[in-house]
Structure 1
């Protein structure tokens, strides 16, 4: 018994040593990645149904939420709700890691560059917006692959993939989807729909952090570490942020699966043209198709994401934000290289609009 306790203590000391040796930004990367992976996996079934609502307008909207769930369960089984989730998790882990870490980095950089700047929610709005754009640019191809895989459905009568232009375009997995998309359209194809993603993520990510931090300001100090309080603050933040930016999400999804659709309608071009075409041909209500499902998804997703992130920061012994600013202030070279890399990636936006 004593030997086991001694081994456990040694193991804990080794883990503590690793945690202590990790730089702040690495801890934030780990915390963000874990938070994103957990949150995305919890809401994966609702995400699948939402994508089908957004991209297969008539077929699934007529069934409604419960009908769509029954169809997927009958034709594809439980695993059908997780079709494309591998690509989703593969995207969300680096996306969330970059998102949260970049948010903290931008926040520190703004404070270090402008010592007199206010530390209120407006700072979180700006830092969150730029962090969202940075994370999208790094991970967008994985989001496109996830959408294409989720778009494929099994027909209940023939039990094979339907609704595709050609049977050989059926994607067998993440690598196959990447390969075929790249062969067909090159790098530009992997960034199809990135413009509405950026237009949407800037306000959404900024508002999400803004509302979360704003609400936490009104929470009594003794309740700020309460998990239920974090869940409520995260839920409201995600709900409000998503409402303002949802139409751009619909445009993005339709641009991503455009080449798979059976419709012979004109090709969706830029973001504005796509937005106008959807309104003209499908009606303005299509811009909010799946929004109710998205509310069901966003509330637990953002709430769990923020909560797990805060819990992981405590576990990894991430210093408070003021302490981190002082610590990182001595390592400005890291911040400079980070923002130089981001600046180079931002030029991609103009290439793939």
Structure 2
């Protein structure tokens, strides 16, 4: 993740197995920590009426009004218990396990491919700006990971969106019901905006991270190393840029025969793909409607990105250190 596609200053990136293990571990740790924020974000994103509407507003009937991150957290705990903050965590943990492994593996593979294809005839590598190479590798890695794990992402959203009146009781039951009622295509509702979101997100994230990591590493920061700080800043910038597509994806994911059975009973029915949903939201809710849940999303993005980057770097370093020790012991 902290590799550069220029020919200078490259460190050993570890074996493919080490990269997969480090990426998967980073994903699991990050997901568990930010799970409550993720549930709050999904609830806010699916709330189609204005936060300023009174409870008597016609559009607000059939679903609670959430106002802000902390009130929403309290509302969920009060009405659904503390475990309500981890709804959808099982498919989410599986998704993050697979997502982290695919993402970091693809990033490493694309980075190495770029080095190969940019090699000159005399064996030297042409100088690609690190930010450009990171954008390409990050976008490709994000697209591959999103497509591979998308059914789990949809399941995570649907479980997080249901209140005490359960739509699905078990993960296996959800898979069976969606397959029966919506077909295999049902597992990929919203894939278009999902990929459309993750490609620029990962590109911007990796490009920002690579640009900031080395300068920040030279600073003596009171709260930690440059890796974590670069991860925080990069996550916030990237998340804000693509947030409307993330909201559109969530709205599409809960379409289908169960749309009116989630905690929000008044989720609109959308047509016309991602562009049609964008237009419908702007027309009915204004441009503000495209940014419902942005605050908690940024709160989630900061620790999520920092923990992911920090965990990946440390786990990879530990695995490489263990391999060196094992190799040295074998030589004795």
Specify the alignment match of 2:271 in structure 1. Answer: 268
Specify the alignment match of 1:134 in structure 2. Answer: 144
Distance 2:83 2:205 in 1: 31
Task: String of CA shifts for 1:58-107, please: whole Å, max 9, x gaps.
Answer: 44554332221111111211111001111111101100111111101101
Q: Is the 8 A contact 1:35 1:96 kept in 2?
A: yes
Specify the alignment match of 2:281 in structure 1. Answer: 278
Aligned residue among 157, 162, 168 for 1:152: 162
* Closer, same or farther: CA 100–42 of 1 in aligned 2, 3 Å: same
Distance 1:80 1:264 in 2: 20
Aligned residue among 45, 48, 51 for 2:42: 51
Specify the alignment match of 2:80 in structure 1. Answer: 76
* Closer, same or farther: CA 264–100 of 1 in aligned 2, 3 Å: closer
Q: Is the 8 A contact 2:154 2:187 kept in 1?
A: yes
Distance 1:130 1:61 in 2: 38
* Closer, same or farther: CA 143–205 of 1 in aligned 2, 3 Å: same
Task: String of CA shifts for 1:5-41, please: whole Å, max 9, x gaps.
Answer: xxxxxxxxxxxxxxxxxx8111111100000110111
Task: String of CA shifts for 1:103-151, please: whole Å, max 9, x gaps.
Answer: 0110101111112142512111110001000001110000000000000
Normalised TM-score (structure 2)? 0.80
Matches within 5 A, 1:95-174: 95-115=99-119, 116-118=126-128, 120-154=130-164, 160-161=165-166, 170-174=167-171
Distance 2:115 2:161 in 1: 43
Distance 2:292 2:240 in 1: 12
Q: Is the 8 A contact 1:42 1:301 kept in 2?
A: yes
Answer yes or no: is 1:287 the counterpart of 2:290. Answer: yes
* Closer, same or farther: CA 117–35 of 1 in aligned 2, 3 Å: same
Shift of 1:269: 3.3
Answer yes or no: is 1:39 the counterpart of 2:36. Answer: no
Q: Is the 8 A contact 1:60 1:68 kept in 2?
A: no
Number of residue pairs aligned between Structure 1 and Structure 2: 283
Distance 2:282 2:301 in 1: 24
Normalised TM-score (structure 1)? 0.76
Q: Is the 8 A contact 1:54 1:250 kept in 2?
A: yes
Higher normalized helix content (fraction of residues):
1
Distance 1:256 1:89 in 2: 18
Shift of 1:221: 5.5
Q: List alignment gaps of at least 5 residues for structure 1.
A: 1-22, 155-159, 162-169, 320-353
Distance 1:217 1:179 in 2: 48
Specify the alignment match of 1:324 in structure 2. Answer: none
Shift of 1:181: 1.0
Shift of 1:278: 1.2
Aligned residue among 219, 225, 229 for 1:228: 225
Shift of 1:223: 6.8
Distance 1:279 1:221 in 2: 44
- The alignment's C-alpha RMSD in Å is 2.1
Shift of 1:294: 0.5
Specify the alignment match of 1:306 in structure 2. Answer: 309
Distance 2:225 2:267 in 1: 49
Distance 2:106 2:269 in 1: 38
Answer yes or no: is 1:24 the counterpart of 2:24. Answer: no
Shift of 1:304: 0.5
* Closer, same or farther: CA 112–227 of 1 in aligned 2, 3 Å: farther
Specify the alignment match of 2:184 in structure 1. Answer: 187
Q: List alignment gaps of at least 5 residues for structure 2.
A: 1-13, 50-62, 120-125, 323-332
Residue aligned with 1:153, SS: coil
Answer yes or no: is 1:243 the counterpart of 2:240. Answer: yes
